[in-house]
Amino acid sequence: MGAAVARVLAGRGPLVVADRDGKRLDELAAHLGPETTAVECDVTDDAAVAGLARAVGRLGALVVTAGLSPAMAPGRRIYEVNLHGTARVLDALEPALGEGSVAVCFASMAGHLVPPAAEIDRVLDKPASPTFFADLAAAGVDVDLPQAAYPYSKRGVLRLVQRRAVEWGRRGARLLSLSPGIIDTGMGRLEAEHEPAMAQMVGASALGRTGSAVEIAEVVGFLVSPAASFLTGTDVLVDGGAVAAFAV
């Protein structure tokens, strides 16, 4: 989905693309053209994220798509990438904010399916805390379980955007999250292999199909454009009506 977003945004001005896979990153940058700069970056590495920030002058649009699904990593690693990694990137790029800056952080429909719990939310709101995992465990969450880490990490992203939006707004900037549903990507197909229930979710959804990376990227293209200038502090759920199916 990150590559699809980059293709949609290419041509709107200078573009910085970042990924931890340097080979794939260079291939994408070469495809996107001479206005594209590639920066190898692991969002769990403070020094790497600082390097990414140095490559950016005044921030136009920031899109954070980095994430791991339950089949890809242990629970703690999922929190470190999906939630803390997203927070780390926002922290690093905030000095570059200006009038008209906008960021879109990728969450997930899974974050909408987690029952609210005040004690857990208080922990999710502080992903950089040195006691984050101990506090989450004390709140009753198995921090090593990937199937719990994914939805809770994405709920944390939803809350992160809500909590920071007012501060960004005071600087003339917008901050949003986007929650994809089940999308036909390598990650999506891997999860489908491990979770047969995903096919049932797709069948029960309003549109009855998976989405494509391009469909997600086109929504991002709108969100970072002037056409969405009054949208901030909220989540955009792009799931083909899967969450709606749970509500009936």
User: Is the pLDDT at 153 greater than 90, yes or no?
Assistant: yes
Q: Note whether residue 28 is domain-resident.
A: no
Using pLDDT thresholds of 50, 70 and 90, give the confidence band for residue 247.
Answer: confident
The tokens describing 73, both together, are 């990593």
In this predicted structure, what is the pLDDT of residue 91? 97
Share of the chain above pLDDT 70, in %: 100
In this predicted structure, what is the pLDDT of residue 186? 86
Mean of all residue pLDDT scores within the chain: 95
Q: Note whether residue 222 is domain-resident.
A: yes
Using pLDDT thresholds of 50, 70 and 90, give the confidence band for residue 2.
Answer: very high
186-193: list long-range contacts, CB under 8 Å, 24+ apart: 187/67, 187/69, 187/72, 190/69, 190/71, 190/72, 191/69, 191/70, 191/71, 193/71
Which tens digits make up the pLDDT trace of 209-224?
999 999 999 999 999 9
Q: Note whether residue 133 is domain-resident.
A: yes
**Higher pLDDT among residues 188 and 19, named by residue:** 19
Q: Note whether residue 119 is domain-resident.
A: yes
Q: Note whether residue 225 is domain-resident.
A: yes
Q: Note whether residue 117 is domain-resident.
A: yes
Closest listed residue to residue 106, CA positions, set 83, 78, 130: 83
Q: Which residues pair with 37 in a beta bridge?
A: 16
The CATH number of the domain holding residue 66 is 3.40.50.720
Ranges 78-82, 94-98, 136-140, 193-197: which has the least confidence: 193-197
Q: Note whether residue 22 is domain-resident.
A: no
Buried b (16+ CB within 10 A) or exposed e, 41-54: bbbeeeebbeebbe
Give SS3 for 69.
Answer: coil
Which tens digits make up the pLDDT trace of 24-41?
999 999 999 999 999 999
User: Is the pLDDT at 7 greater than 90, yes or no?
Assistant: yes
Contact status, residue 103 vs residue 90, Cβ threshold 8 Å: yes
In this predicted structure, what is the pLDDT of residue 123? 98
Q: Note whether residue 24 is domain-resident.
A: no
The CA-CA-CA angle for residues 59, 61, 62, to 5°, reads 90
Q: By residue range, what is the domain housing residue 229?
A: 2-17+36-194+206-246
In this predicted structure, what is the pLDDT of residue 194? 79
Number of domains in the chain: 1
In this predicted structure, what is the pLDDT of residue 111? 97
Which tens digits make up the pLDDT trace of 178-187?
999 999 988 8
